[in-house]
């Protein structure tokens, strides 16, 4: 069983927030308790400062060749839930993220199945969603640091076993996300040596592209020159990710390693100094070295993580110490590093020291509805995997309303529509909007047995729901959730009600501008 740090629970009205992270190399769990309260400035419902109740040290994700090891995975989950004394009846919200090589395993859905078997529908089980993982890693690793240094642009590189998830943000907000198949576990070694014992699909492609014979590496060890060639390629890819205008991933051999482009623009970095932070297993190794000045022994975990971390610390683009100036970065981005110096990673180091994703999952995976939501039938919840069909403004033309809700009608498990720019609507405007929506639903003959969720950032959910349903006389399965920030996402999930509020989680994150 993994090492577990537990804080004894106290009697309170707090709710449980649970995060489970299953990655290419390691998996981990975190449990937090938090009070639900109203923000003193914004007036929105929110969580108080969470109290970490339990967290695990990362353990190796259990694989059996290319598949997840079913029995080992079940034991791992049972150990976590038992040791942390998790109450599945009390768990309010959370997320499970399955990423990298774990998400690409032939039986990846096994994780979701086993989680729901143990925790019911109280947890959002989300499979591979690279933009969500990038957002989560930023929030978990450097959101607080970013808010504390609002004059900086931050790029967080979450480097794990199978992928590097990148996110760019300012003042605690993420604006761009990306994901590339650069990671430590595409090549697996006999511990203590560089003799190959396994390759991922992308590891095999990379060896072939670089002209390194895999068969020889399995029989003998990778030579120092071959290792350097591999590391140079990986670091060059990471440098391209954080450099606006760099077309490196546009080259045909490199395109296969890009899942989602970060798409940085020169204006993203010109206005503010840039700080690069790291998370994931490789990020942890970087910060451990910066703290202690030593590296673990050769291939201690049977992969390329230590070598990749060391190579990153030697990059003047990724680790821009004051005495290192990168003419390549200046050439491509237009930045004059003598006057707009890249922030030194030593000076701006995340308090998490790289352990980001599970913290982001636990503490940032969920928004809370306002207390004036419209939920006449609480038994409708939870609702999972609802597609967000449209993001509509209050003045959307009738034809577009009919098109959007007609599309929602085609989703038999239910659908969601976000109502934008609705925070300051008065009672008259809310009633007008409700009449427009009611007419639309009647015109398209929206099914009476099909859930329809409306999300609004205003605090008039109950009012809108009453007007729209004609005070319950219309039999639609309607839910109106209010005080939810606008999210650019593809799917939404509503958890079990807790007193008068509902947890709302998004995934399928899109680029936000």
Residues 32-83: tens digit of each pLDDT: 777 776 665 556 666 666 777 888 887 888 888 778 888 888 899 888 888 8
In a domain, 363, yes or no: no
User: What tokens were used for 312?
Assistant: 């990153």
* Whether residue 393 sits in one domain with residue 253: no
The pLDDT of residue 148: 87
Of 127, 154, 172, the domain-final residue: 127
The pLDDT of residue 339: 36
Helix/strand/coil (H/E/C) assignment for every residue in 244-312: CCCCHHHCHHHHCCEEECCCCCHHHHHCCCEEEEEEHHHHHHHHHHHHHCCCCCCCCCCCCHHHHHHHH
* Whether residue 243 sits in one domain with residue 118: no
* Whether residue 232 sits in one domain with residue 256: yes
Of 111, 127, 143, the domain-final residue: 127
- Environment class of 424 (CB within 10 Å of its CB; exposed 0-12, middle 13-18, buried 19+): exposed
Estimate to the nearest angstrom the gap between the alpha carbon of 123 and the chain centroid: 15
Report the candidate in 224, 207, 206 with the shortest Cα–Cα distance to residue 215. Answer: 207
Q: Report strand pairing: 491-494 vs 503-507.
A: antiparallel
* Whether residue 460 sits in one domain with residue 447: yes
* Whether residue 380 sits in one domain with residue 300: no
The pLDDT of residue 44: 63
CATH number of the domain to which 456 belongs: 3.40.50
Of 306, 329, 354, the domain-final residue: 354
8 A C-beta contact, residue 268 and residue 176: yes
User: What tokens were used for 333?
Assistant: 């981005």
* Whether residue 481 sits in one domain with residue 413: yes
* Whether residue 163 sits in one domain with residue 191: yes
Number of domains within the chain:
3
Rounded Cα distance, 100 and 115, in Å: 18
The pLDDT of residue 294: 92
How crowded is the C-beta side of 53, counted as CA atoms within 13 Å?
Answer: 24
* Whether residue 157 sits in one domain with residue 52: no
In a domain, 513, yes or no: no
In a domain, 359, yes or no: no
The pLDDT of residue 57: 80
* Whether residue 468 sits in one domain with residue 328: no
The pLDDT of residue 282: 92
Which ranges of 315-426 does DSSP label H, i.e. alpha helix? 327-333, 357-364, 398-409
In a domain, 23, yes or no: yes
Q: Which sign, positive or negative, has the C-alpha torsion 339, 512, 243, 323?
A: positive
Rounded Cα distance, 501 and 117, in Å: 25
Domain that holds residue 111: 4-127
Rounded Cα distance, 175 and 406, in Å: 31
Q: Which residues of the chain have pLDDT under 50?
A: 1, 8-12, 321-346, 354, 511-513
Report the candidate in 35, 282, 8 with the shortest Cα–Cα distance to residue 141. Answer: 282
What angle do the packed helices 224-241 and 201-209 form, to 10 degrees? 110
The pLDDT of residue 73: 86
The pLDDT of residue 329: 38
The pLDDT of residue 87: 64
User: What tokens were used for 130?
Assistant: 């690279």
In angstroms, the first-to-last Cα distance of the chain is 43
Rounded Cα distance, 321 and 342, in Å: 8
In a domain, 244, yes or no: yes
Estimate to the nearest angstrom the gap between the alpha carbon of 275 and the chain centroid: 20
Q: Is the pTM of this model over 0.85?
A: no
* Whether residue 391 sits in one domain with residue 255: no
* Whether residue 350 sits in one domain with residue 284: yes
In a domain, 454, yes or no: yes
In a domain, 91, yes or no: yes
* Whether residue 498 sits in one domain with residue 393: yes
């Amino acid at each position: 069983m993994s090492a577990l740090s537990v804080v004894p629970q106290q009697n309170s009205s707090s709710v449980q927030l649970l995060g489970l992270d299953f990655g290419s190399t390691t998996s981990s769990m975190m449990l937090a308790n938090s009070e639900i309260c109203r923000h003193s400035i914004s007036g929105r419902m929110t969580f108080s400062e969470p109290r970490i109740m339990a967290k695990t040290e990362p353990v190796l994700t259990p694989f059996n060749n290319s598949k997840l090891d079913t029995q080992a995975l079940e034991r791992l989950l049972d150990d976590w839930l038992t040791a942390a004394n998790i109450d599945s009846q009390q768990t309010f919200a959370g997320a499970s993220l399955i990423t990298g090589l774990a998400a690409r395993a032939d039986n990846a859905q096994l994780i979701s199945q086993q989680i729901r078997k143990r925790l019911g529908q109280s947890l959002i089980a989300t499979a591979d969603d690279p933009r969500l993982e990038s957002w989560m890693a930023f929030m978990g690793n450097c959101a607080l640091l970013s808010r504390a240094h609002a004059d900086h642009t931050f790029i967080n590189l979450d480097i794990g076993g199978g992928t590097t998830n990148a996110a760019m943000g300012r003042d605690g907000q993420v604006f761009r996300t990306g994901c590339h198949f650069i990671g430590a576990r595409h090549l697996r070694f006999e511990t203590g040596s560089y003799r190959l014992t396994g390759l991922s699909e992308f590891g095999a492609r990379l060896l072939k592209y670089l002209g390194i014979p895999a068969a020889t590496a399995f029989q003998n060890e990778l030579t120092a020159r071959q290792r350097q060639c591999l590391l140079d390629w990986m670091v060059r890819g990471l440098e391209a990710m954080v450099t606006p205008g760099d077309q490196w991933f546009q080259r045909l051999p490199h395109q296969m390693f890009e899942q989602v482009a970060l798409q940085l623009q020169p204006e993203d970095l010109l206005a503010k100094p840039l700080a690069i932070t790291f998370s994931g297993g490789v990020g942890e190794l970087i910060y451990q070295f910066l703290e202690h000045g030593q590296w673990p022994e050769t291939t201690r975990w049977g992969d390329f993580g230590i070598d990749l971390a060391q190579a990153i610390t030697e990059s003047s683009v990724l680790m821009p110490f004051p005495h290192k100036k990168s003419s390549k970065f200046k050439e491509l981005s237009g930045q004059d590093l003598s006057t707009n110096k890249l922030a030194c990673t030593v000076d701006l180091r995340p308090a998490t020291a790289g352990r980001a994703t599970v913290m982001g999952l636990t503490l940032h995976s969920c928004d809370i509805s306002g207390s004036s939501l419209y939920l006449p039938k609480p038994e409708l919840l939870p609702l999972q995997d609802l597609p967000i069909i449209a993001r509509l403004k209050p003045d959307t033309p009738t034809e577009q309303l009919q098109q959007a809700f007609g599309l929602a009608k085609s989703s038999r498990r239910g659908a969601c529509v976000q109502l934008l720019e609705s925070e300051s609507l008065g009672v008259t405007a809310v009633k007008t909007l409700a009449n427009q929506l009611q007419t639309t639903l009647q015109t398209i003959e929206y099914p009476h047995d099909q859930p329809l969720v409306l999300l609004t950032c205003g605090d008039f959910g109950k009012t809108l729901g009453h007007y729209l349903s004609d005070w319950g006389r219309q039999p639609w399965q309607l839910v109106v959730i209010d005080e939810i920030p606008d999210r650019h996402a593809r799917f939404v999930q509503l958890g079990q009600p807790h007193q008068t509020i509902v947890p709302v989680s998004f995934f399928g994150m899109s680029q936000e501008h």
